[in-house]
Structures are given as C-alpha cells and as structure tokens.
Amino acid sequence: MKSINLAEKLETFSEHYKPRTVGQFNGHDLMVVKVKGPFNWHKHDDTDDFFLVLKGELTILLRDGSVTLKPGEMYVVPKGVEHCPVAEEEAHILLIEPQGTPNTGNVATAAAKVVI
Amino acid sequence: MKSINLAEKLETFSEHYKPRTVGQFNGHDLMVVKVKGPFNWHKHDDTDDFFLVLKGELTILLRDGSVTLKPGEMYVVPKGVEHCPVAEEEAHILLIEPQGTPNTGNVATAAAKVVI
C-alpha cells in the first residue's frame, strides 16, 4: 500500500494534453495531465467532467461564459455541456473520468490510455 | 459558473470529521473535511473510498498495514476493506463518495450531509 503522489507522477512526463492514469475509483480513472495552450471544443454526453488544478491556471471556456481555476480550485462540467480548456502557461490538473472516456469526446481523436 | 475553492470552503467551518459537500460529480458527492485524532474502523461494502490530502498529514490504518498521505497525495481504499483514518494534527482532505454513503459505513452513526 502506497500513497499516490501527484507531483511525482507529473514529473515523469512532459507532453501536454496526454493524461496519465494514476489510480482507479468506482469505475473511474484518476488521471493527471499537463496542459498548455487551447484544447478542443468537445462534450461528453454520458459523464460529468471533473477538473482540479494542482499547479498553474486553467480556463474552461463554455458557450455562455468561462471559469478560471487556480491551484486548489475545481470545477465540474456537467454532462452534455460543450467546453474548451485553455491554459496560457503550463498547468497541472487532476482529472476524473469513467474508465474508457475519450478525452476529446471522440474515440477517433482521443489520447491513448497510459497507466503510470 | 464559479470555481470551487477548496481552501475557502474549509475556512467556513471548524468541526472535525463533519464533511461538507461542495459539489457533485457523476452521482458522487465532492466533499471537504477537517480531521484530527482517530476516526473509527469501518468499511464501505459498495464503494471505494477516495482521499486526497490538501493540508496536513493523514494516516489510513488498514488491518495489514497503513499508508500516510501528505498534501498532494491520494489513496483509494478499495470497497470492503476495513480502514481507520487518523491524524495527529489537523488535516484537510478532499473526499469523493457516492451520494448517500454514510461516512462511518453505518447510517446510524454517520454525519449528516451538509452542502456548502
């Protein structure tokens, strides 16, 4: 039995928008991701989208506004709601999604699942 | 649309082992809790138990060992596994549990759900 140190996990890779799975919880993947620049507009029809900022700053654009998250701040994008994450500088994020959820909302363009 | 600032939510109360619900995600409650001293031995037959330490240090005793978490470290106690959280000094934790899960594993002794 060992704790999962999120900062240590984040030190093991450098790519942006390529989540790493660091644990499982009730059928969900617990993932860390480094982000920089804009992602793409997408939605998940069947799952809410959980974001907790660990380092840096993340803005989540929504069709009717936006929300900016600093370290220790979280936001849940409800299922079916279009959103586009954007980070001016590199930011580190904890994501939680049901196992198998494509990060882009589309299996054809999604990042592969990588467990570390 | 507003971010959920975990530290600000934690500043609004002082009791230990009385989780506050700060958001919802896929049928789960996102909760912050202040802990100090030992909790009780318990298990959840139907849900894994998610702990992420935000401040301080938390030890989770298990029947066959223990795991100690510092800020930025998380651990998931698998469903059905007996555990007892202990904190020598006050610690602040993010918990995620299916809505309606009794924090003690027993509805008779569980803390009431409080949304902030």
Is pTM, for the whole model, over 0.90?
A: yes
Q: What is the mean pLDDT of residues B82-102?
A: 95
Q: Is B3 on the interface with A (CB under 8 A)?
A: yes
pLDDT at position B99 is 92
pLDDT of residue A113: 83
Question: Which residues contact residue A40 at a Cβ distance below 8 angstroms, ignoring those fewer than 6 apart?
Answer: A84, A104, A109
Give Cβ neighbours of residue B66 (< 8 Å, ≥ 6 apart). Answer: A1, B59, B60
B63 reaches A (C-beta below 8 A) = no
Q: Is B98 in the A-facing interface, judged by CB distances under 8 Å?
A: yes
State yes or no: pLDDT of B112 exceeds 90.
no
Residue (of A111, A115, A88, A85) closest to A18 by Cα position: A111
Q: Say how far apart CA A93 and CA A95 lie, in whole Å.
A: 6
The verdict on a CB contact (< 8 Å) between A26 and B28 is: yes
Tell me the residue type at B73.
E
CA distance B55 to B38: 17
Answer yes or no: is pLDDT of A101 > 90. Answer: no
Q: How confident is the prediction for chain A on average, in pLDDT?
A: 95
Q: Residue type at B116? A: I
| Helix, strand or coil, per DSSP, at residue A8 | helix
A99 touches chain B (CB under 8 A): no
Residues of B whose CB is below 8 A from A50 = 25, 30
Q: Do B72 and A6 touch (CB under 8 A)?
A: yes
* Tokens linked to B16: 């230990």
Tell me how far apart the alpha carbons of residues B2 and B5 are, in angstroms, rounded to a whole number. Answer: 9
> Is A75 close to B3, i.e. CB distance below 8 A?
yes
Whole-number pLDDT of residue A103: 83
| Residue A98 exposure: Cα atoms within 13 Å on the Cβ side | 12
Interval B80-88 mean pLDDT: 97
> What pLDDT is stored for residue A20 in this prediction?
97
Nearest to A23 among B66, B69, B76 (CB): B76
Residue A6's SS3 state is helix
Give kind and range of the element (H or E) at residue B10: helix B6-10
Question: Band of the pLDDT at A48, cuts 50, 70, 90?
Answer: very high
Whether residues A2 and B67 touch (CB distance < 8 A) is answered with yes
Say what the alpha-carbon torsion angle B87, B93, B96, B97 is, to the nearest 10 degrees.
40
In this prediction, residue B109 carries a pLDDT of: 86
Q: Which residue has the higher pLDDT, B110 or B57?
A: B57
Instruction: Report which of A58, B6, A12, B68 is spatially closest to residue A49, judged by C-alpha positions.
Output: A58
Provide φ and ψ at A73, rounded to 5°.
Answer: -115, 145
pLDDT score of B97? 94
| Chain A contact for B73 (CB, 8 A cutoff) | yes
At B101, the pLDDT band (50, 70, 90 cuts) reads confident
A42-56 mean pLDDT: 96
B87 has a pLDDT exceeding 90: yes
Q: B108, exposed or middle or buried, with CB in 10 Å at 0-12, 13-18, 19+?
A: exposed
Pairing of strands A73-77, B4-5: antiparallel
How confident is the model over B9-59, as pLDDT tens digits?
Answer: 999 999 999 999 999 999 999 999 999 999 999 999 999 999 999 999 999
Structure confidence at residue A90 (pLDDT): 98
Among A50, A69, A94, the residue with its CB nearest the CB of B3 is A69
Q: What residues contact B63, with CB distance under 8 A and at least 6 apart?
A: B81, B82
Nearest CB to A72 within list B1, B54, B75: B54
pLDDT at A34 over 90: yes
